Amino acid sequence: MLREVTATRYIEPLRSGGSVPGVVEADDLGTYVVKFTGSAQGRKALVAEVIVGELARALGLRFPELVLVHFDPAIAADEPHHEVRGLHTASAGVNLGMDYLPGARDFTPEMAKTFRVDPLEAGRIVWLDALTANVDRTVHSSNLMIWPTLGVAPPRLWLIDHGAALVFHHRWDGTDPAKAYDFRHHALGHYAPDVRAADAELAPRVTEGLLREIVAEVPDPWLTDFASPGEAREAYVAYLHARVRASRQWLPTDFPSREELAAEEALRTARNQQGRPAWLRQVPDLHGKPAAEQDGAVHLG
């Protein structure tokens, strides 16, 4: 089961994600990034974080430890922003924390020339994302981190932020377990991911027993779609196990090259510029960060 800790000091909010998670210290002397139950994304995002994150760990992928964080809004009373304080007030009680990785950097497509990803590792990550319908690991938002970065050990890829996964649990009666999703723009698509080898290795390991162990880690109050938490857990197990058995039908294999991706992006940009006033076409992208500003620590978006 997930460890439980109590937040003792609020450090800062992280504004890079729509849910505005916060960095806290806890009574176990650890530092965690907390995703709050009161965020606009709702508790299903936390359910997805637990199930997909713990499944990743069970399959041998690098994923920071998750903990359940008891949070008292009083420790963040000095937060200056009214909206963030409101989020904290709405999140009193148990929230979800992820181990903070100091100095971790966002993985970006531009790193392809200097950071090597093994095709089998890329295949395992793509396979997990396809299994869990994680549509939020793209060339535009990888939700991958590189850590460590201080020369202590070779830098490795770490997975973060699975709140957008498990799209089926937003419409329990309307999604085919064999449904294929478009992963052509996956963040690791141009690393020649060996998804067939990953399927042969990982699919037999995702058993009903393993899924039950993982789903059991989700707190009861976050499971509200069915008459009881037990029924909700069985629904997750049944759906994901059925999806594993149908892997040949959804296995993504058609990944564009870097050149094709660049051409698609150029075409998209050109279309977006059509019909815009000349002065607006010259407005710089104020949302993009220079590479030098992308260093940070693991976060939940």
**Residue that wins the pLDDT comparison between 90 and 284:** 90
273 pLDDT above the threshold of 80: no
135 pLDDT above the threshold of 80: yes
Proportion of the chain above pLDDT 90, given as a percent:
74
Beta bridge partner(s), residue 6? 70
C-alpha distances in angstroms, 137 versus 44, 75, 129, 141, 211? 18, 33, 8, 6, 22
pLDDT at residue 269, as a whole number: 77
Judged by average pLDDT, the poorest of 156-160, 171-175, 201-205, 281-285 is 281-285
278 pLDDT above the threshold of 70: no
Contact criterion met (CB below 8 Å) for 216 and 1: yes
Residue 81 CA, distance from chain mean position: 26
73 pLDDT above the threshold of 80: yes
290 pLDDT above the threshold of 80: no
Contact criterion met (CB below 8 Å) for 164 and 121: no
Per-residue confidence band for 294, with pLDDT thresholds at 50, 70 and 90: very low
CA angle 206, 212, 218 (to 5 degrees): 115
Judged by average pLDDT, the poorest of 46-60, 213-227, 246-260, 273-287 is 273-287
- Which pTM was predicted? 0.87
Q: SS3 of 167, please?
A: helix
How many Å apart are CA 96 and CA 69, to the nearest integer? Answer: 6
Contact criterion met (CB below 8 Å) for 78 and 129: no
**Residue that wins the pLDDT comparison between 299 and 16:** 16
Judged by average pLDDT, the poorest of 85-99, 180-194, 244-258, 284-298 is 284-298
Q: Given the structure tokens 């997909």, which residue do they identify?
A: 52
What is the maximum alpha-carbon separation in the chain? Answer: 60
260 pLDDT above the threshold of 80: no
pLDDT in tens, 155-166: 999 999 999 999
55 pLDDT above the threshold of 70: yes
Overall average pLDDT of the 46-58 stretch: 98
Contact criterion met (CB below 8 Å) for 51 and 203: no
pLDDT at residue 111, as a whole number: 86
Q: What is the CA radius of gyration of the chain?
A: 20
CA angle 289, 290, 295 (to 5 degrees): 80
Overall average pLDDT of the 278-282 stretch: 58
295 pLDDT above the threshold of 70: no
- Answer positive or negative: Cα dihedral of 78, 80, 86, 87: negative
pLDDT at residue 93, as a whole number: 98
**Residue that wins the pLDDT comparison between 175 and 219:** 219
How many Å apart are CA 88 and CA 194, to the nearest integer? Answer: 43
Question: Which amino acid does the sequence have at 80?
Answer: P
Per-residue confidence band for 282, with pLDDT thresholds at 50, 70 and 90: low
pLDDT at residue 242, as a whole number: 98
Alpha helices, DSSP H only, in the chain? Answer: 43-58, 82-89, 119-131, 195-202, 208-215, 229-245, 247-250, 258-273, 278-281
First to last CA, the chain: 24
pLDDT at residue 279, as a whole number: 58
287 pLDDT above the threshold of 50: no
Residue 271 CA, distance from chain mean position: 30
Q: SS3 of 160, please?
A: coil
Q: Given the structure tokens 């329990």, which residue do they identify?
A: 172
Helices 43-58 and 208-215: crossing angle, nearest 10°?
130
